[in-house]
């Protein structure tokens, strides 16, 4: 039976009791942190009961389930999310209010678990939310990084990285499950033994190993009593005593094992759309893949005896290439531990694994040097060699005489192990994350593979969960929508369509805009408290928040701000609607160009924000430490959403959808899921600019783009570029921004200059912004555009995405819950 949250009255009592039993304090004397912990336990009580019930039904009904394999789960804070999903948010809020405490302050005590970089990790978290809400059994499998995504401090305009010690105090929403520990082995060598029956036995020796210990986190569905599990793995050394006494006095090895365990799960690599080829990263990948597969097979064999029928109950979805070792490790377990021959093991594996591609960026394609790979995973390497041998035979048979093609497609080539090639070779499904992205995969970046296995390729356009990004982040709008069209949209976002009936209702439009203003005031206060900058909530809030990457073109945005500033200075009389440009972005710690762009944004802000002569027409704000928790408030407050990547480069984007859900109007290129937003919205409710992906791809192919031409024909660009290097924005060190200037214009080497076509799209971007200015001045028209965005957001729920994965790829069984 589903357990409900207690009533407000009961909650008041329970929270007070908890504070007393946990901290031996009266409520009045408790700190906010202590109250948070008490609330977490009260909510946990309900969650745990439902978790138990779900797991019991799981055993009884024996449904097929998905293991979502991902190096990243950017789950964000759980207290608020769990309260919403258990339908007790308002009750807790009221209980706390009755006790004289603001729920926001309490929620703010929770560390924001940032076990992910950006879109890829947040997508995984949204998927788990939707799976539980749709009652599909699922496990998230990942790593319990001790330090998640770093905290960003801005010091003199520069980014500084500070470790994110989210486990400093016990995290209330995780549960260590020591009963499910497994050993994972690295290094050593493989010995063969011929068996009497003619088969060969492979024995792994001389390895180092760690114990993988899982921590389970509950993933609650919305209002259905369903609770799935996110299992994140931590590493610990084999018992020190055992090491010393059983490893034949090999003290060095004991120390090595201990260090291995200590380092393995220490930190998340802070790279988004970029691979750092570090051996430790490969170790992390194998570690969580091996542990997760062992647990999955263990669970399967507890209730079934025919391992050949594993695909009937289990599917492993590989979130990008990071967990591709799933292929070879599953083969190893099936053959070496469970006695299958190659053909049977391959049959099972290729019906259990599927692969999602999340990018076409070349620097994100995972390739491991063969020697590192072989040294670290000797048995796995042997298996990969055999997979590769058979795969190359298959290519030759299908395309006789095309040796070039075999070389291009091989898993082992040029001294490297190509992870995507293995994922596609073994996966029964290969999907992209937006329609355009999937087309580019098929026609350009994975064309060879598409020719070989057209039936594997399919599209699953990304989505987001409306429970977190509207109900929790923007409860005012959420309540208003409930008043207007009921509650159906909470689990069926397509019902937002009903809002179209309000598009000509002046009173509703006004209410809608009043809520936006309230949200802008909330953000303005946050900005004042954190940045000391006073921004006018009545100005246009024009926002770009996402990871900093040159292809996402924050540079285009800030160059345009510099241009606007010039215009306002030159033409003080010009009719300009005051605008606040808001940025938030973390740059990977080693990505110099990206970090310099952050500095540029901050320096431009410092000049503009302090220039009294422009009468507060322009403000530039860089929000420090952009993360899930402040993102929710930022989306709620945005008027304009900047989705301006170079066409073809952003596989999908998901921030674009979160803004749309909150009634911001997009300025964007025809890239990623923007294309589908455009289709849902019609051209009049979105501002599209710039080159198409076909044009970009053609320029890249023909090498015929010269940014100097763009500069020469546009005096505004000339002026802005000269201001990059004349000390305008860096008096003390006029050369500071020279690397940015060179990246755009590098006259020695035009082929590599302005890789992302910033100057090429500049004029068209300026024009689109002029249209936004015009549109915003007509307040009613703008309200209609903004509300249209909410009304047409239905497609972009992760509930829709998950249902498509289930129908086309996973074929899961729904769990029945009373
Ligand atoms: C990112 C893409 C985004 C996309 C997310 C989720 C990687 C490798 N890819 O466009 O850049 O929205 O994945 O699919 O992080």
Which residue in 365, 275, 374 sits closest to 328, CA to CA? 374
From 273, 317, 358, 588, the mutation candidate for ligand 1 (largest count of ligand atoms within 8 A of CB) is 358
The ligand 1 atom nearest the CA atom of 653: 12
Task: Tell whether 567 is covered by a domain.
Answer: yes
250 pairs with which residues across the strands?
none
Ligand 1 neighbour 658 (Cβ under 6 A): no
ipTM confidence: 0.99
Distance CA 154, CA 162 (A): 10
Mind listing the pLDDT tens digit for each residue in 459-469? 999 999 999 99
596 pLDDT above the threshold of 60: yes
List phi, psi (to 5°) of 151: -85, 140
For residues 317 and 372, state if they share a domain: yes
For residues 472 and 435, state if they share a domain: no
From 125, 357, 359, 586, the mutation candidate for ligand 1 (largest count of ligand atoms within 8 A of CB) is 359
Distance CA 506, CA 184 (A): 64
For residues 329 and 447, state if they share a domain: yes
- Kindly state the average pLDDT of the residues 191-212: 93
CA of 692 from ligand 1 middle (Å) equals 19
- Show Cβ contacts of residue 446 under 8 Å, excluding neighbours closer than 6 positions: 357, 420, 424, 430, 457
List phi, psi (to 5°) of 296: -65, -45
Mind listing the pLDDT tens digit for each residue in 171-199? 999 999 999 999 999 999 999 999 998 88
- Kindly state the average pLDDT of the residues 683-702: 97
What per-residue string of b and e applies to 428-441 under the rule 16 or more CB within 10 Å gives b? bbbbbbbbbbbebb
Mind listing the pLDDT tens digit for each residue in 636-645? 999 999 999 9
Residue nearest to atom 12 of ligand 1 (CA): 653
Using DSSP's 3-state secondary structure scheme, residue 666 falls into: strand
Give catalytic status of residue 612 as yes or no. no
Please report which confidence band the pLDDT of residue 247 belongs to, taking 50, 70 and 90 as the band edges: low
For residues 310 and 389, state if they share a domain: yes
Give catalytic status of residue 201 as yes or no. no
- Kindly state the average pLDDT of the residues 713-728: 98
154 pairs with which residues across the strands?
159
For residues 658 and 607, state if they share a domain: yes
For residues 531 and 648, state if they share a domain: yes
Residue nearest to atom 9 of ligand 1 (CA): 358
For residues 371 and 223, state if they share a domain: yes
For residues 597 and 639, state if they share a domain: yes
Number of domains in the chain: 2
Task: Tell whether 534 is covered by a domain.
Answer: yes
749 pLDDT above the threshold of 70: no
Q: Transcribe 257-290 into DSSP letters.
A: HHHHHHHHTSB----SS-----HHHHHHHHHHHH
Q: Are 189 and 202 in contact (CB under 8 A)?
A: no
Which residue in 668, 690, 657, 682 sits closest to 790, CA to CA? 657
469 CB neighbour count, 10 Å cutoff: 27
Distance CA 26, CA 389 (A): 69
252 pLDDT above the threshold of 90: no
Task: Tell whether 629 is covered by a domain.
Answer: yes
Tell me which H or E stretch contains 232. Answer: strand 227-236
**So what's the pLDDT on residue 257?**
86
Distance CA 651, CA 137 (A): 28
Q: Transcribe 668-733 into DSSP letters.
A: E-S-TTHHHHHHHH-GGGSEE-S--HHHHHHHHHHT---HHHHHHT-HHHHHHHHHHHSSTT-SS-
CA of 587 from ligand 1 middle (Å) equals 15
From 273, 436, 459, the mutation candidate for ligand 1 (largest count of ligand atoms within 8 A of CB) is 273
**So what's the pLDDT on residue 719?**
98
**So what's the pLDDT on residue 249?**
64
Task: Tell whether 29 is covered by a domain.
Answer: no
The ligand 1 atom nearest the CA atom of 654: 12
For residues 484 and 543, state if they share a domain: yes
For residues 618 and 643, state if they share a domain: yes
Cα distances from 610 to residues 385, 402, 603, 604, 621, in angstroms, run: 62, 64, 11, 10, 12
Of 77-81, 239-243, 560-564, which gets the smallest average pLDDT? Answer: 239-243
Distance CA 437, CA 459 (A): 8
Ligand 1 neighbour 432 (Cβ under 6 A): no
CA of 274 from ligand 1 middle (Å) equals 11
Task: Tokens for 165, please give them.
Answer: 């010690």
Task: Tell whether 657 is covered by a domain.
Answer: yes
Domain holding 666, by residue range, is: 466-693+761-796
Distance CA 192, CA 200 (A): 6
- Dmax (CA) of the chain: 94
Residue 339: which CATH number?
A: 3.40.50.2000
- Kindly state the average pLDDT of the residues 128-147: 98
345 CB neighbour count, 10 Å cutoff: 22
List phi, psi (to 5°) of 748: -70, -35
Ligand 1 neighbour 366 (Cβ under 6 A): no
Ligand 1 neighbour 218 (Cβ under 6 A): no
144 pLDDT above the threshold of 70: yes
- Kindly state the average pLDDT of the residues 30-38: 98
Q: Give the distance, in angstroms, between the CA of residue 747 and the centroid of all CA atoms in the same chain.
A: 37
CA of 126 from ligand 1 middle (Å) equals 13
Task: Tokens for 372, please give them.
Answer: 């590192």
Q: Are 22 and 42 in contact (CB under 8 A)?
A: no
Catalytic residue among 313, 546, 549, 784: 546
CA of 695 from ligand 1 middle (Å) equals 22
- Kindly state the average pLDDT of the residues 516-534: 97
Ligand 1 neighbour 654 (Cβ under 6 A): yes
Task: Tokens for 696, please give them.
Answer: 């970009």
**So what's the pLDDT on residue 243?**
58
418 CB neighbour count, 10 Å cutoff: 23
Ligand 1 neighbour 333 (Cβ under 6 A): no
Residue nearest to atom 3 of ligand 1 (CA): 653
Mind listing the pLDDT tens digit for each residue in 327-374? 999 999 999 999 999 999 999 999 999 999 999 998 888 999 999 999
Catalytic residue among 16, 313, 552, 619: 552
Give catalytic status of residue 553 as yes or no. no
Task: Tokens for 572, please give them.
Answer: 């003080």
Percent of the chain with pLDDT over 90: 95
Please report which confidence band the pLDDT of residue 567 belongs to, taking 50, 70 and 90 as the band edges: very high
Using DSSP's 3-state secondary structure scheme, residue 78 falls into: coil
CA of 119 from ligand 1 middle (Å) equals 5
The ligand 1 atom nearest the CA atom of 356: 14
Task: Tell whether 685 is covered by a domain.
Answer: yes
- DSSP 8-state symbol, 583: E
Please report which confidence band the pLDDT of residue 242 belongs to, taking 50, 70 and 90 as the band edges: low
For residues 536 and 657, state if they share a domain: yes
What mean pLDDT, rounded, does the chain reach?
96
Give catalytic status of residue 236 as yes or no. no
Using DSSP's 3-state secondary structure scheme, residue 209 falls into: strand
- DSSP 8-state symbol, 100: T
Which residue in 420, 363, 459, 424 sits closest to 652, CA to CA? 459
Give catalytic status of residue 779 as yes or no. no
Give catalytic status of residue 476 as yes or no. no
- DSSP 8-state symbol, 112: -
- DSSP 8-state symbol, 183: E
Task: Tell whether 235 is covered by a domain.
Answer: no
For residues 443 and 514, state if they share a domain: no
238 pLDDT above the threshold of 90: no
- Kindly state the average pLDDT of the residues 565-576: 97
Task: Tell whether 366 is covered by a domain.
Answer: yes
């Amino acid at each position: 039976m589903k357990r409900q949250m207690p009533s407000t009255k009961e909650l008041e009592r329970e929270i007070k009791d908890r504070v007393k039993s946990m901290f031996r304090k009266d409520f009045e004397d408790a700190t906010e942190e202590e109250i948070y912990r008490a609330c977490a336990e009260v909510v946990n009580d309900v969650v745990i009961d439902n978790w138990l019930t779900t797991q019991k039904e799981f055993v009884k009904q024996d449904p097929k389930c998905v293991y979502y394999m991902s190096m990243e789960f950017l789950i964000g804070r759980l207290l608020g999310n769990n309260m919403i999903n258990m339908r007790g948010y308002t009750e807790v809020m009221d209980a706390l209010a009755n006790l004289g405490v603001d729920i926001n302050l309490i929620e703010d005590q929770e560390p924001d678990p940032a076990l992910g970089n950006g879109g890829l990790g947040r997508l995984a978290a949204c998927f788990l939310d939707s799976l539980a809400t749709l009652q599909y059994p699922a496990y998230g499998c990942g790593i319990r990084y001790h330090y998640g995504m770093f905290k960003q401090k801005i010091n003199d305009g520069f980014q500084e990285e500070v470790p994110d010690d989210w486990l400093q105090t016990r995290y209330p929403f995780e549960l260590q499950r020591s009963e499910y520990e497994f050993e994972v082995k690295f290094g050593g060598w493989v010995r063969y033994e011929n068996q009497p029956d003619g088969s060969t036995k492979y024995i792994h020796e001389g390895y180092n190993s760690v114990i993988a210990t899982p921590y389970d986190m509950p993933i609650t569905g919305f209002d259905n009593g369903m609770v799935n599990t996110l299992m994140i793995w931590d590493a610990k050394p084999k018992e020190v005593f055992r090491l010393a006494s059983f490893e034949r006095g090999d003290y060095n090895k004991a120390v090595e094992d201990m260090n291995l365990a200590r380092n393995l799960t220490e930190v998340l690599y802070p790279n988004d759309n970029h691979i750092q080829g570090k051996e430790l990263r490969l170790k992390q990948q194998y570690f969580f893949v091996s542990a997760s597969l062992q647990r999955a097979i263990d669970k399967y064999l507890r209730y079934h005896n025919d391992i050949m029928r594993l695909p009937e109950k289990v599917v492993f979805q590989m979130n990008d290439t990071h967990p591709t070792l799933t292929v070879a490790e599953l083969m190893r377990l099936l053959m070496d531990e469970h006695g299958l021959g190659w053909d049977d093991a391959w049959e099972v594996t290729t019906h259990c694994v599927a692969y999602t591609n999340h990018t076409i960026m070349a620097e994100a394609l995972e390739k491991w040097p063969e020697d590192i790979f072989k040294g670290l995973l000797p048995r796995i390497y042997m298996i990969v060699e055999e997979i590769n041998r058979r795969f190359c035979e298959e290519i030759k048979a299908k395309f006789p005489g095309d040796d070039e093609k075999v070389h291009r497609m091989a898993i082992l080539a040029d001294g490297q192990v190509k992870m995507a090639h293995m994922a596609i070779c073994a996966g029964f499904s290969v999907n992209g994350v937006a329609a355009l992205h999937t087309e580019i995969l098929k026609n350009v970046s994975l064309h060879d593979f598409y020719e070989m296995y057209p039936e594997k390729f399919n599209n699953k356009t990304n989505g987001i969960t409306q429970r977190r990004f509207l109900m929790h982040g923007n409860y005012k709008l959420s309540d208003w929508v409930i008043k207007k069209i009921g509650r159906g949209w909470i689990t069926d976002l397509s019902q937002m369509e009903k809002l179209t009936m309000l598009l000509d209702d002046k009173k509703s439009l006004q209410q809608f805009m009043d809520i936006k203003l309230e949200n802008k005031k909330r953000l303005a206060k946050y900005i004042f408290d954190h940045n000391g900058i006073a921004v006018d909530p009545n100005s246009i809030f024009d926002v770009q928040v996402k990871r900093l990457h040159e292809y996402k073109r924050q540079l285009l945005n800030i160059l345009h701000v510099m241009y606007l500033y010039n215009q306002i200075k030159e033409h003080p009389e010009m009719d300009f609607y005051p605008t606040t440009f808001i940025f938030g972005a973390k740059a990977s710690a080693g990505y110099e160009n990206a970090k310099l762009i952050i500095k540029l944004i901050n320096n431009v802000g410092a000049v503009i924000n302090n220039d009294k002569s422009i009468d507060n027409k322009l403000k530039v704000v860089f929000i420090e430490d952009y993360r899930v928790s402040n993102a929710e408030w930022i989306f709620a407050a945005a008027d304009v959403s900047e989705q301006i990547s170079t066409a073809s480069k952003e596989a999908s984007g998901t921030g674009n959808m979160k803004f749309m859900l909150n009634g911001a109007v997009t300025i964007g290129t025809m890239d990623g899921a923007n294309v589908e937003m455009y289709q849902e919205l019609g051209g009049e409710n979105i501002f599209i600019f710039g080159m198409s992906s076909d044009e970009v791809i053609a320029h890249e192919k023909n090498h015929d783009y010269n940014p100097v031409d763009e500069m020469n024909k546009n005096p505004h660009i000339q002026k802005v570029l000269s201001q990059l290097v004349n000390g305008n924005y860096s008096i003390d060190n006029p050369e500071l921004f020279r690397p940015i200037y060179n990246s755009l214009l590098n006259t020695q080497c035009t082929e590599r200059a302005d890789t992302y076509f910033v100057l090429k799209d500049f004029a068209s971007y300026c024009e689109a912004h002029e249209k936004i200015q015009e549109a915003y001045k007509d307040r009613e028209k703008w309200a209609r555009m903004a509300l249209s965005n909410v009304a047409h957001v239905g497609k972009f729920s992760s509930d829709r995405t998950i249902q498509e994965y289930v129908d086309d790829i996973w074929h899961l069984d729904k769990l029945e819950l009373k």
